Amino acid sequence: MAIIAFLFGTSSILVSIFTCIPISKNWNSHEEGHCINVVDFYYANGVIMVGTDIILYLMPVIFTWNLEVRLPQRIALLSVFSLGAV
């Protein structure tokens, strides 16, 4: 999951840099070239980020669910891990 998050972050940075071809069209709108629809990019980026966040928040809960500890300790541990969702 860490590799997926790293690769997604890197690709988002690259898309932000190369939003327009040529790159100088980002600050000079009168130049010849074309740009991607940034609103669609932001929506797609947001959906993917929310999905990876949910997976990252649920992973500790899933991995600690079957620990051989007493129920109050397990509830306390899961509560601490669920604070990441805040």
pLDDT digits (tens, 9 = 90+) for 15-25: 989 999 998 88
Q: What is the pLDDT of residue 13?
A: 93
Query: For tokens 């932001």, what's the residue?
Result: 42
Q: Give the C-alpha separation, 13 to 41, whole Å.
A: 12
Give 34's contacts (C-beta < 8 A, 6+ positions apart). Answer: 20, 21, 25
For the entire predicted model, the pTM comes to 0.70
Number of domains in the chain: 1
**How does the average pLDDT of the chain come out, rounded?**
87
What domain range is 7 assigned to? 2-85
The helix-helix angle for 38-64 and 71-82 (nearest 10°) equals 160
